Chains A and B, each alone.
Chain A
Amino acid sequence: MIEVKNISKSFGEKLVLKEVSGVFEKGKANLIIGASGTGKSVLLKAMVGLIKPETGGIEYDGRDFTNGTNDVRHEVRREIGMLFQGGALFDSKNVEENVMFPLDMLTKMPKDEKLDRVNFYLKRVGLENTNKLMPSEISGGMQKRVGIARAIVMKSKYLFCDEPNSGLDPQTSIIIDNLIKELTEEYNITTIVVTHDMNSVLEIGDHILFMYKGEKLWEGTNKEILDTDVTALQDFIFANKLIRDLKKNTNG
């Protein structure tokens, strides 16, 4: 479980996170949604330690990640896996080397064991026999799947995904969403996904946090979101005609 407690962050004069709090539970796909520029990615970066919040803190299963000791931060970091928006695969390494990278750097496992683990996770994300391909030789969707394999190869307890569907076609987006959901439940991971894709919200959103102008404005599930009476959230979700029609049909 990850607990965010009253975190605030500003860049210069601009306050981008205003006392945001939230609890993200284990085994659930927790989604942070909102329009562009509402502080979703800043919140995610603060949670993984890429940005230090000015006030408040983040706890990972009771361990203070923000204000704790270096040892605690180091321990937590090794339990975090992250899928970046563009995949962030290392260009100079092939698929196998990319997935093996955290094992090479953070463990002293024998080479055979590492290879077995890499092959297991590559198979799990549907990419067996792609070991020797370079990132430039595979599609965007495959890059995302390699990114997911790399994020969980350390048997991560916490998985962060920054806009996993960006740049993907709708069909591949659904595959990635389902993969994230399956892995979350299968390995009982605390997963946090930043997205503005309403399909993802309705498909996998066990717990949703809506950000608006740097603040948490709404919290709930994908079952509750269509019935919201929060105007900003209504504007966000019903910007899509398909969702408006879906709502009308549900009411009808």
Chain B
Amino acid sequence: MKSIGRYFILIGSLFRNRERFSVYLKLILDEAVAIGIDSIFIVVIVSTFIGAVTAVQTAFNLVSPFVPLYIIGTIVRDMTILELAPTITCIVLAGKVGSNIAGELGTMRITEQVDALEVMGINSASYLILPKIIAAIITFPLLVIIAAFLSIYGGYLAGIMTGILTEKQYIYGIRYEFHSFNITFAMIKSLAFAFLISSISAYQGYFTKGGALEVGKSSTQAVTNSCIAVLCADYLLAQLLL
């Protein structure tokens, strides 16, 4: 309970004694590159393979002659947009981005760089954490869009190349009974996950005490707690919005 209280106090402190907007703008752009651009490779790999595996496994389980093959495309699409692209991508990002944020802030804390900011009269939490959260909120939805596209494309490649279904069947399947709200839902999820991952990881890093060992522990804790928060939020959002 104490940690949760401290987390909310930290989030509140991000908006007090802020610096000039121009200061944040540069930091947000730098963080967007670190969080977003540098994560594209892992997102491309993970999402393409997940789409391909989903298509193959769905085909393996669809043994009834009464179920048309284009359903594979429909299942890949819905699974990707509703769950795989936002949730799996964000869990992967929790590992990569979360540990990076916690490690960076933890190191800054133990090497007194955070204290140096405070002594200068700068709100260190706001200066260090707010740009990371904003950058995550901007870049995560973009990464999820890329992941969704590539996952569906991965399903297409696997389906066509292995001869499970034809190109026409797959395209028909991904267009069949499409609900545009699913896209909105995926975007809402990605925004919520972006906030949770960046803020929880920042909290773990910012309050690191001790030395190098504790920085490692903070990074691990950041990834664990971010993943748990993402999964809880995933369930809550599904329950509330679907």
A and B together in one complex: yes
A interface, CB within 8 angstroms of B = 45, 48-50, 74, 77-78, 80, 82, 84-86, 88-91, 101-102, 104-106, 160
Within B105-125, the residues touching A (CB, 8 Å) are 107-108, 111-113, 115-116, 118-122
Whether A90 and B113, one on each chain, are in contact in the complex, defined by CB atoms closer than 8 angstroms, is yes
Report the bound CA distance from A86 to B107 in whole Å: 12
Whether B120 and A49, one on each chain, are in contact in the complex, defined by CB atoms closer than 8 angstroms, is no
Contact of A50 among B107, B111, B118 (CB under 8 A): B118
- A90 — which chain B residues lie within 8 A by C-beta? 113, 116
Residue of B nearest to A154 (CB): B120
Whether A48 and B119, one on each chain, are in contact in the complex, defined by CB atoms closer than 8 angstroms, is yes
Report the bound CA distance from A82 to B114 in whole Å: 13
B interface, CB within 8 angstroms of A = 19, 23, 107-108, 111-113, 115-116, 118-122
Residue of B nearest to A90 (CB): B113
Whether A88 and B112, one on each chain, are in contact in the complex, defined by CB atoms closer than 8 angstroms, is yes
- B121 — which chain A residues lie within 8 A by C-beta? 74, 77-78, 106
Contact of A77 among B107, B111, B120 (CB under 8 A): B120
Q: Lowest 7 CB-CB distances: which A-B pairs, in order?
A: A77-B121, A88-B112, A88-B116, A84-B112, A82-B119, A88-B113, A48-B119
- B108 — which chain A residues lie within 8 A by C-beta? 91
Q: List 28 A-B contacts (CB under 8 A).
A: A49-B118, A49-B119, A50-B115, A50-B118, A50-B119, A74-B121, A78-B120, A78-B121, A80-B119, A82-B116, A84-B112, A84-B115, A85-B112, A88-B111, A88-B112, A88-B113, A88-B115, A88-B116, A90-B113, A90-B116, A91-B107, A91-B111, A102-B120, A105-B19, A105-B23, A105-B120, A105-B122, A106-B120
Report the bound CA distance from A216 to B155 in whole Å: 73
Quick one: given A105-B19, A105-B23, are A77 and B119 in contact (CB under 8 Å)?
yes
Report the bound CA distance from A197 to B92 in whole Å: 49
Report the bound CA distance from A89 to B115 in whole Å: 11
CB < 8 Å A-B pair total: 45
Name the distance in Å between B48's Cβ and chain A's nearest Cβ: 32
Name the distance in Å between A146's Cβ and chain B's nearest Cβ: 12
Residue of A nearest to B120 (CB): A102
Name the distance in Å between A100's Cβ and chain B's nearest Cβ: 12
Residue of A nearest to B116 (CB): A88
- A48 — which chain B residues lie within 8 A by C-beta? 119
Residue of A nearest to B23 (CB): A105
Additional 18 contacts, C-beta under 8 A, given A80-B119, A101-B120, A106-B120? A45-B115, A49-B118, A49-B119, A50-B118, A74-B121, A77-B119, A77-B120, A82-B116, A82-B119, A84-B115, A84-B116, A88-B115, A88-B116, A91-B107, A91-B111, A105-B122, A106-B122, A160-B119
Name the distance in Å between A163's Cβ and chain B's nearest Cβ: 11
Residue of B nearest to A101 (CB): B120
- A104 — which chain B residues lie within 8 A by C-beta? 23
Contact of A86 among B111, B119, B122 (CB under 8 A): B111
- A102 — which chain B residues lie within 8 A by C-beta? 120
Name the distance in Å between B129's Cβ and chain A's nearest Cβ: 15
Residue of B nearest to A108 (CB): B20
- A91 — which chain B residues lie within 8 A by C-beta? 107-108, 111, 113
Report the bound CA distance from A106 to B115 in whole Å: 16
Name the distance in Å between B63's Cβ and chain A's nearest Cβ: 56
Name the distance in Å between A110's Cβ and chain B's nearest Cβ: 14
Residue of B nearest to A86 (CB): B111
Whether B112 and A86, one on each chain, are in contact in the complex, defined by CB atoms closer than 8 angstroms, is yes
Residue of A nearest to B119 (CB): A82
Name the distance in Å between A120's Cβ and chain B's nearest Cβ: 19
Residue of A nearest to B107 (CB): A91
Residue of A nearest to B34 (CB): A92
- A45 — which chain B residues lie within 8 A by C-beta? 115
Residue of B nearest to A104 (CB): B23
Residue of A nearest to B122 (CB): A105
Name the distance in Å between A97's Cβ and chain B's nearest Cβ: 12
Residue of B nearest to A70 (CB): B17
